[in-house]
Structure 1
Amino acid sequence: MLDLADDLRRWLAEEREFAVATVVSVGGSAPRGPGAALAVDRDGTVIGSVSGGCVEGAVYDLCVEALADGRARTERFGYSDEDAFAVGLTCGGTIEVLVTPVGAGSPVRPVLESALTHLSGGGPGALAWVTDGPADLLGRALLVRPDGTYEGGLGGAAELDRAAAAARGLLDAGRTGTVTVGPGADAYCAGRPALFVQSSVPPPRMIVFGAIDFAAALVRVGKFLGHHVTVCDARPVFATRARFPEADEVVVDWPHRYLRTTRTDARTVLCVLTHDAKFDVPLLEVALGLPVAYVGAMGSRRTHTDRLRRLREAGVGERALSRLRSPIGLDLGARTPEETALSIAAEIVAARHGGTGAPLTTTSAPIHREGRTAPAAA
């Protein structure tokens, strides 16, 4: 729903009443993931999408009904053999949608307004919706901040504290998903509420080492994929803002020294384009010891073999070396800097979501799958 933040904030400022439908779970292959949203106001104006078109009509009707009776509801949509194009997902998956009315006196309204202002302004936090449990709590919302403070109503103080703690757990991991709120493993069966938690965290970092022409193309692709992109090179004549105007940062420093001191996390991707041993080896010694999402290095197969030898001599273990993606990128037959950047970006996406990089026409695995967690540092 956060992708509709600007439009929904405008609707709130204009005192419009509306209902918002949010995808809270997905099974199998589905066009859009958890957090995708569609909203309908009293005049029938529609923004957003929950399925890319498959079930939009049915969700629109649910929003109209929610506005009329003021009640939140959930609905599951799946493939329909008899009438797939009416209300079914023709891709064969299932989605569950939470529809919440946001009327003039709705208790959700002030929470939503505060959440959209905070999160769309770049502040980290999580917006949690009650998707199951007591009927009077269905559709209630909670804004949780990283420091544990929260806004919203959800039962008594104990329930609020547990809900905030559950949402903060997903927020700390930068994840979006569903959690059950309760004191024990049987909480769901005991009627405790389930929360859909949509986390909003700073964009993942891409650090490109080596201020070469291939780096300029990779910066553009990295920004397109939503990364905060940094270019680092020890040579001030090459690492300039004029050469990399689209980068968020251009840093002049020895790559290994910069990497030791800068912030990284499990979503960070490191692209080593220097293909020069005096830069590569000390940099990769540091990089392969960090729990980041991706470490790739450019160079020929001969360069790669020599690089592995040097890293082994420097004491880097086999487990750490197995994380190195070199030569960097997927085999697309790339020639130009732009094509090479595309092959690198494709490998990063495949690594994030557990893809193989093979043509879909040659595979039978589900097209949409859960992403893999970053490998642990050696």
Structure 2
Amino acid sequence: MLDIAEDLRHWLAEGRDFAVATVVAVGGSAPRHPGAALAVDAAGTAIGSVSGGCVEGAVYDLCQQALRDGQPALERFGYSDDDAFAVGLTCGGVIDILVTPVHTSSPLREVLTSALTAAADGKAAALARIVCGPAELQGRALLVHPDVHPDAPYEGGFGAHPELDRTVAREARAFLDAGRTGTLEIGEQGSRCGAPLTVLVESSAPPPRMIVFGAIDFASALVRVGKFLGHRVTVCDARPVFATAARFPEADEIVVEWPHTYLERTEVDARTVLCVLTHDAKFDVPLLALALRLPVAYVGAMGSRRTHLDRNERLREVGVTERELARLRSPIGLDLGARTPEETALSIAAEIVATRRGGSGVSLTGAHTPIHHDVSRSQSPVRRVGAVA
């Protein structure tokens, strides 16, 4: 649901009744990930998508039904071997979808408004909703933020056993810390006790950072691709004549500073990607010596193979270990035969995606590897409270 936060926030502000269908779990080659949503208002207007087109019509009808009867519903859609054109996923996958009506009188509106506002504003929050369980609890929600007051650890609630709210809030905060969306199983009393419940936790987190070091023409193309992929992009260069807003109008931030000095003081996390395009040892060596010791998702450096070998020797001389060097993607990018800045940016972006998702980088034609590699994320494994992680 949080992927269409801006539109839904407007609907709430306008007082519209609507129903929202959210992907809860997926299996096989399903096209959308958990959390993807389709919403339909009372006038029949639709926004979002749950399947890329495979089952949109059927889900649209479910949303209209939920608006009429006011009842949430959990439905499964999958590929039909008997009739490939029946309602189902012809790509071979299976998706579970929760349909929730949100009327103006719904107690959900207040917590949903907070969740959608946080997501639309790029703030961190986790929305937990009961997917499967007693009918009177299905669809109920609570919201947690990363920095909470001990007297108010969450907003909303399920209206059941008080320990259920507290346990789900703790679990949702763990999902949020990992930037993950998925499901968990929990007893109705907040542990193994009581009837089992399935809870969907949707995490909204600020966009991941891409920091591009080196204000060169290749950087300009990479900034555009980085923005397209949903990153918050910073360009950093020590040379003020090159690091200008006129040259990088799509960058979120332009920093004129020695690269390693900036990296020392800026905030990075496990989703941050660092692209070193400076191609100059006086910038590269101190920067990479620091970058390769940080808990970031990706570190890549531009240069020829000769430059790569020379740079590695310089890094060893300043104490970078072989294990740290093994993290460096250099020469940066996948082998696409790229020549232009735009082609090179595509090559770099492709490697970033492959690294994040566990892809091989080989052509899918003739390959026998899965199309979707990040099984642990895309298939939303169920976490059972009380089980060993």
1:29 Cα shift? 0.7
Q: CA deviation at 1:83?
A: 2.3
CA contact (8 A) 1:205 1:267 kept: yes
The equivalent residue for 1:252 is 256
For the 8 Å contact 1:354–1:371, the answer to whether it is kept is no
Does 2:386 match 1:357? no
- DSSP 3-state at the match of 1:366: coil
Asked if the contact 2:165/2:190 (under 8 Å) is kept, the reply is no
Q: Does residue 275 in structure 1 map to residue 274 in structure 2?
A: no
From the superposition, tell whether residues 140 and 240 of structure 1 become closer, same or farther in structure 2 (CA, over 3 Å).
Answer: same
Quote the residue 2:310 is aligned against: 306
* Structure-2 change in CA distance of 1:183 and 1:20 (3 Å): closer
1:311-332 deviations in whole A, cap 9, x for unaligned? 1222211111111100000111
In structure 2, C-alpha distance between the alignment counterparts of 1:36 and 1:85, rounded to whole Å: 23
2:167 is matched with: 162
Point out the more displaced range, 262-271 or 158-167.
158-167
**2:55 paired residue number:** 55
Q: Residue 85 of structure 2: SS of its match in structure 1?
A: helix
Q: How does 1:278-289 map to 2 (within 5 A)?
A: 278-289=282-293
> What residue number does 2:384 align with?
none
Partner of 2:245: 241
| Letter of the 2:264 counterpart | R
Aligned to 1:207, the other structure's residue is in SS state: strand
CA drift of 1:74 comes to 0.7
Distance 2:299 2:251 in 1: 19
Provide the residue aligned with 1:130 in structure 2: 130
- Superposition map of 1:35-74 within 5 A: 35-74=35-74
% identical aligned pairs: 71
Question: d(CA) in 1 for partners of 2:181 and 2:120?
Answer: 16
CA contact (8 A) 1:255 1:283 kept: yes
TM-fit CA distance, 1:184: 10
1:225 partnered with 2:229: yes
TM (norm. structure 2) is: 0.91
Specify the alignment match of 2:14 in structure 1: 14
**For residues 368 and 190 of structure 2, what CA distance do their matches in structure 1 show?**
36
Shift of 1:198: 1.1
**Paired position in structure 1 for 2:177:** 172
> Does the aligned pair in 2 maintain the 1:22–1:97 contact within 8 Å?
yes
2:130 is aligned with what amino acid?
V
Worse-matched range after superposition: 266-275 or 130-139: 130-139
Q: Which fold has the larger relative contact order, with Cα–Cα distance below 8 Å and residues 6 or more apart in sequence?
A: 2
Take 2:60 and 2:249, find their aligned partners in 1: how far apart are those partners? 43
Counterpart CA distance in 1 for 2:180 and 2:256 is 33
Q: Tell me if the contact between 2:164 and 2:191 (Cα under 8 Å) persists in the aligned partners.
A: no
Q: Deviations over 1:130-180 (max 9, x none)?
A: 112222111111121112432112123321111111111111111111123
Q: TM-score with structure 1 length normalisation?
A: 0.93
Deviation, 1:68, is 2.3
Cα distance in 2 for residues equivalent to 1:34 and 1:217: 31
Distance 1:312 1:194, change over 3 A: same
Mapped to 1, the partners of 2:88 and 2:155 lie a distance apart of: 36
CA distance in 2 between counterparts of 1:95 and 1:371 reads 14
Question: Whole-Å Cα distance in 1 between the matches of residues 235 and 11 of structure 2?
Answer: 39
Q: 1:170 to 1:160 in 2, by over 3 A?
A: same
Give the secondary structure class of the aligned counterpart of 2:47: strand
Determine whether 1:348 maps to 2:376. Answer: no
Aligned residue in 2 for 1:376: none
AA aligned opposite 2:248: F
Change in Cα spacing, 1:295 to 1:285, as seen in structure 2 (3 Å) is same
CA distance in 1, matches of 2:223, 2:118: 28
Give distance in 2, aligned partners of 1:15 and 1:190. Answer: 37
Match of 2:110 in 1: 110
Distance 1:185 1:103, change over 3 A: closer
* Residue type at the aligned position of 1:341: A
Measured in 2, the distance between the counterparts of 1:185 and 1:84 equals 42
CA distance in 2, matches of 1:10, 1:342: 35
Gaps of 5+ in 2: 378-389
SS in 2 for 1:195: strand
> SS where residue 86 of structure 2 aligns?
helix
Number of residue equivalences = 372
One-letter amino acid matched to 1:87: V
Give RMSD over aligned pairs.
Answer: 1.9
Q: 2:333 aligns with which of 329, 336, 351?
A: 329
Alignment of 1:183-198 (within 5 A): 187=192, 190-198=194-202
List, as ranges, runs of 4+ consecutive aligned residues in structure 1 with deviation greater than 4 Å: 182-186
Question: Which deviates further from its counterpart, 167-176 or 236-245?
Answer: 236-245
Conservation of the 8 A alpha-carbon contact between 2:188 and 2:197: no
